[in-house]
Structure 1
Amino acid sequence: MTDPVLSLRDVSLTLDGNAGPVEILRGISLDVGRGETLGLVGPSGSGKSSLLMLLGGLESVSSGTVTALGQDLTRMDEDALARFRRDNMGVVFQSFHLIPTMTALENVATPLELAGHRDAFDRAEAELEAVGLGHRAGHYPGQMSGGEQQRVALARASAPRPAILLADEPTGNLDETSGAAIVDLLFGLRDRHGATLVMVTHAMELARRCDRMVRLRDGRIEAPAEARAAE
């Protein structure tokens, strides 16, 4: 693969537990290409979410290197990492992490304002329309369903038009119907902005929609990435 957007080289992560150090990830090497969709799958505790956190610079490696868009994240301090995520990444979590005292429009516009976009509210309004929530722009998170809140979170992640989208169990807190709608929106946003998408999921039907799957077990990549099965 030439010029990967995301690259991990011999990455390990060890955290302190009650009984001593715990190895979370062990010797992970992985490349993700521009515009690719990658599904991270595996049993609970296999290290999927930890790997996503390392890709987003939200957790520090114990050894090895993480590179995103040619930049070595392992050499950046917290301020530099925050700026890099602001300018290049959109992150969607299982929990929505919306600010409860802000309307949907304000939640989406705030990161754009922090990044200095003068058209922050216009872009936020367009993204809410794109996820079918233009009519809910003035509502607060507490006035919306779980599916609607996750759609606001998707709009917030995609509004800066990031090169990289990271999603950690984006349908985990939703019912089947709402979850399916979120998945369609997530791939639609990827297509609209041409972003590279890496997604952690327990749902195999969702992982199979990705270009590749990577299976983790006990902190290691269990098998080579699988090509998506032909329809």
Structure 2
Amino acid sequence: MGDPILVLQGAGLTLNGNAGAVEILKGISLTVDRGETLGLIGPSGSGKSSLLMLMGGLERATQGQVSALGQDLGAMDEDALARFRRGNMGVVFQSFHLIPTMTALENVAVPLELAGARDAFDRAEAELRAVGLGHRLDHYPAQMSGGEQQRVALARAAAPRPAILLADEPTGNLDGMNGAAIMDMLFGLRDRHGATLVLVTHAPELAARCDRVVRLVDGKVADGQVAA
């Protein structure tokens, strides 16, 4: 038996759109163990990103239950969820979501400051140096390439030492060389901090590096796959 860190039991997600209710995810039961790297793959529209959002408490399951570190995410209000994420999760998106008016150093320091870390800027600098951006500390996002911005986003997600690192198409907006570098850094962060890593990807070479891959089709785990 493993040490479960993320547990989904019959989790579903239905969203209301202009055309009525749309069932995005249908009865997902899935367990991710501490320290595991899980790849989520499948065609566009299959629900991969939505599943990642459920795991991070960024979307609420409309059916079933989602638990992280033994806590029922559905039982938390928005403030409690935000505090829980801040203390336990790092999220990396395909679009970098950096604050344009802040330097790289300030962007990475933000979550640490929110968590009350007195050494926020020292830790932010160390994390940026670890992803090869020691020379970009005082640069703003608009002054950096896409690959550099994604490295800042990675450093920001990893700086609070989250137990769970969630990445949604982290190489999707990058060319091959930058994408390969981000892949190496992502797995390096996992190794360095011992985080559990869940990532959505279309890149076969990225999925191949995961301990386990789950394929989604039409909002469900594909037949023949053992999800737990």
TM over 0.5: yes
Matched, 1:126 2:126: yes
Identical amino acids, percent of aligned pairs: 79
- In 1, the alpha carbon distance for the partners of 2:193 and 2:226 equals 25
1:43 aligned counterpart, secondary structure: coil
- In 2, the alpha carbon distance for the partners of 1:2 and 1:105 equals 37
Shift of 1:148: 0.1
- Residue equivalent to 1:196: 196
- Residue equivalent to 1:177: 177
- In 1, the alpha carbon distance for the partners of 2:2 and 2:172 equals 33
The letter for the 2-side match of 1:173 is N
The letter for the 2-side match of 1:221 is V
Shift of 1:20: 1.2
- In 2, the alpha carbon distance for the partners of 1:97 and 1:168 equals 12
CA contact (8 A) 1:212 1:225 kept: no
2:4 aligned counterpart, secondary structure: coil
1:8-35 superposed Cα distances (whole Å, 9 cap, x missing partner): 0000111112221111000000000010
- Residue equivalent to 1:55: 55
- Residue equivalent to 2:137: 137
1:91-135 superposed Cα distances (whole Å, 9 cap, x missing partner): 000000000000000000011011000000000000000000011
- Residue equivalent to 2:78: 78
- Residue equivalent to 1:114: 114
- Residue equivalent to 1:89: 89
List structure 1 runs of 4+ shifted beyond 4 angstroms.
none
- In 2, the alpha carbon distance for the partners of 1:79 and 1:166 equals 20
- In 1, the alpha carbon distance for the partners of 2:29 and 2:45 equals 19
2:138 aligned counterpart, secondary structure: coil
Gap runs ≥5 in structure 1: 227-231
- In 2, the alpha carbon distance for the partners of 1:32 and 1:178 equals 28
2:54 aligned counterpart, secondary structure: helix
CA contact (8 A) 1:13 1:23 kept: yes
- Residue equivalent to 1:39: 39
TM-score (norm 2): 0.97
TM-score (norm 1): 0.96
CA contact (8 A) 1:40 1:200 kept: yes
Matched, 1:215 2:215: yes
1:167 aligned counterpart, secondary structure: strand
